[in-house]
Structure 1
């Protein structure tokens, strides 16, 4: 009986060790090479339109590729921050009536709350003069409205507001805003910070009079619109304010999956760059289990000439 108990305890001990041991992933034995005839020092040179043929040796369960082009850089694979030129652009048209100066475009990075008192009394910067506005039903593009000076740092927020004033006594104007986009612009890359298509549900409306009920902004994925009343309508002030725009928040760059663990081994990969420049092409090869992942990174400098 004692011998049986000892055997059971030993078996349980072995089972416990087996259950607590992690499933290990081996480090990939993976190398990348290019045509040595293209090499000068540490750079491989190709003409625009040529196919860059990367040759693989060794093996890896998974392979991802960063071409080094804008939006596809290994160094930017994690969320980061940076300020380029913060640019607002939109189109407008103004219909009916002859009332002047009925629309103001405002911006602030100091909005402590979204209640009406806080919004109306905030330190808004009037940026109307920076934009071209319509004077009739003919659609006018605002041009490039530079807001960089209104962003204090890369983690600062920015709010855009359209403020409408319609006065009783004459036909009030109707405004339509389309093609609204706020961008963070770097050389060779533009990040969209806000747009009508993505922000339709996030605009907030304020005002002191809702007579007629239509004297209030509406927001859709296609436009922002406010319909003025007739000559007998009350004087109206109506605001519509964007969500907080974190202009310096940059999305991570992305890779292209070349091979997954379920696919057969690959001997290489062909890629064609679409513009002259110098690119750091990066391959990440990795093996993983439920418990761990091991990877290797291989980088090559590619120069594409006209």
Structure 2
């Protein structure tokens, strides 16, 4: 009896340890040979790029080769180009001067009030233009590259408001806020009002009424000054950590999933002229294993 149980346990263990194996996809792609010149397939802007499929495969993904859709950039990378800041502002009511500063630092040890006030902020207000009245003024595109140590660094940007009791305090509105990493082939958005509306941090020495603090929305940042009897108000609003050189992985387009029948072709229209490396990834997988086949083509789109 004991011998039988040992044999049974051995068989069960062997069955459980055996991996689910998968075959490499037998998959081929054929662009239209009528468009082939040497190793490149040439199309006019607006033409349909038609890829013929053969073979059977569980899943197919497509990287068109456009910015943000490149197979070689499918993993997160870091590259710092030109780091820029832009926004527009307007300043309403009262006549107080020097009530807004634009500050930046890559050394913010914490988000408590003491860390914020004592951080090594650099005043970058003079790198652009600030409004002096209710007319909206574009700050311009300020170069902040010198404030980042390298592509793995982070940066914080703050707007510091100062309103003094005794006269009507100014009301400031910031719109079109954007921080970008400008690379030779594309521009990476690092921060914008709409994308980061939930991530601003606010501080101030006056908490009531509520409008004495900065208020972020999907369209602007705003602080409303008090009248001549309002208390002196120092109020900050600060971005989340901005990872200046971080580039998110490029994405593919799903062409076929394992639950779909085999497809005979895929049609894509490139939206702009240029030279692209189109990549198809065909793969079969189980819980234990994945095997893939890659097919790549050079596509040139002319005017």
Per the normalisation by structure 1, the TM-score is: 0.92
Aligned partner of 1:69 among 66, 71, 76: 66
Aligned partner of 1:269 among 266, 271, 283: 266
What's the offset of the Cα at 1:7?
5.5
User: Which residue does the alignment assign to 1:151?
Assistant: 148
User: Which residue does the alignment assign to 1:82?
Assistant: 79
User: Which residue does the alignment assign to 2:116?
Assistant: 119
User: Which residue does the alignment assign to 2:97?
Assistant: 100
Deviates more, 1:199-208 or 1:94-103: 199-208
Is the CA contact (8 Å cut-off) linking 1:104 and 1:162 kept in structure 2?
yes
Cα distance between partner residues in 1 of 2:107 and 2:271: 42
Is 2:57 the partner of 1:60?
yes
Aligned partner of 1:133 among 127, 130, 134: 130
Secondary structure in 1 aligned to 2:69? coil
The answer for unaligned runs of 5 or more in structure 2 is none
Q: Give the superposed CA RMSD.
A: 1.9
Deviates more, 1:277-286 or 1:228-237: 228-237
User: Which residue does the alignment assign to 1:300?
Assistant: 297
Is 2:165 the partner of 1:201?
no
Aligned partner of 2:280 among 263, 280, 283: 283
Cα distance between partner residues in 2 of 1:256 and 1:45: 22
Deviates more, 1:233-242 or 1:253-262: 233-242
Cα distance between partner residues in 2 of 1:252 and 1:133: 36
Aligned partner of 1:224 among 221, 225, 230: 221
User: Which residue does the alignment assign to 1:20?
Assistant: 17
Cα distance between partner residues in 2 of 1:132 and 1:195: 19
Corresponding pairs, count: 303
User: Which residue does the alignment assign to 2:239?
Assistant: 242
Is 2:185 the partner of 1:183?
no
Is 2:251 the partner of 1:254?
yes
The answer for unaligned runs of 5 or more in structure 1 is none
Per the normalisation by structure 2, the TM-score is: 0.93
CA gap of 1:9–1:205, structure 2 versus 1, over 3 A, is closer
Cα distance between partner residues in 1 of 2:8 and 2:236: 74
What's the offset of the Cα at 1:188?
4.2
Is 2:128 the partner of 1:169?
no
Secondary structure in 2 aligned to 1:197? coil
Cα distance between partner residues in 2 of 1:16 and 1:240: 61
CA gap of 1:35–1:209, structure 2 versus 1, over 3 A, is closer
Is the CA contact (8 Å cut-off) linking 1:210 and 1:236 kept in structure 2?
no
